[in-house]
Structure 1
């Protein structure tokens, strides 16, 4: 029975290194404060507009928390999948495109995700194998 790897679905890059595609919470607060500071005193901000903007701020905060929760669930799922691979025979795709078969002998949890150690039939050890490199799992 083969098990499909979810490693390719997980984003193992550092989120702080990615470019920000939209407005974040700090940007929204800065815009909101600037709008309050520079509003026309003869035409102050309408209460309905103020409440609408406040609701948008709350919505952004909730979406941010939901994304964090989903990321935590993906991490837990990948950790559980990797534990199931311990002592299983796997086929690994190497960086050059070749494949190597062996048994998962160790699992380490790093800041970049899960790293497996695979020991081949000739006792060659492949350290730091990512879940996305696993192509086939057999009992």
Structure 2
């Protein structure tokens, strides 16, 4: 009788192109496979006269699972905030805004939105025809109709 490997192939996607094992690695500094090997090693080399209590073992697994789910939730919330920020930036297109730049308040029309840095920035055209780019939407002080 041939026995296969005990380690499961966990490559589930969390909807953002990263897999669960990568998320676990980011959270704990170890891959999911490595953590499973640690648990299996703990079971293999435990003292037969003092075996690990079942409830303690299940508790450890539940804690690991909860931490992994918390990390996944955190990744999803971060993704949601990025999408919301993009939506807010695109809603500014064609609108007149006041932007705080180095303590000065500039007014102008939003001509474009860029996502090159990962967070949205706007390009502003002032009433004098000057174009100012790479302004963070966090610096927008007022939106006019």
Superposition TM-score tier, normalisation by shorter sequence: 0.7 to 0.9
Residue equivalent to 1:55: 62
How far has the Cα of 1:25 moved from its partner? Answer: 3.1
In structure 1, the residue matched to 2:92 is: 85
- In the other structure, the counterpart of 2:77 is 70
> Where does the alignment leave 5 or more consecutive residues of structure 2 unmatched?
1-25
- RMSD value over aligned CA atoms? 2.5
The structure having more radius of gyration, on CA atoms, is: 2
Q: CA deviation at 1:133?
A: 0.7
- TM-score, with structure 1 as normaliser: 0.73
Q: Matched residues in 1 for 2:47 and 2:107: separation?
A: 71
Contact 2:97 2:140 (C-alpha < 8 Å) held by counterparts: yes
- Gaps in structure 1 of 5+ consecutive residues: 1-22
CA contact (8 A) 2:27 2:71 kept: no
State whether structure 2 residue 60 is matched by structure 1 residue 33. no
TM-score for both structures, normalised by structure 2: 0.70
Alpha-carbon separation, structure 1, partners of 2:87 and 2:116: 15
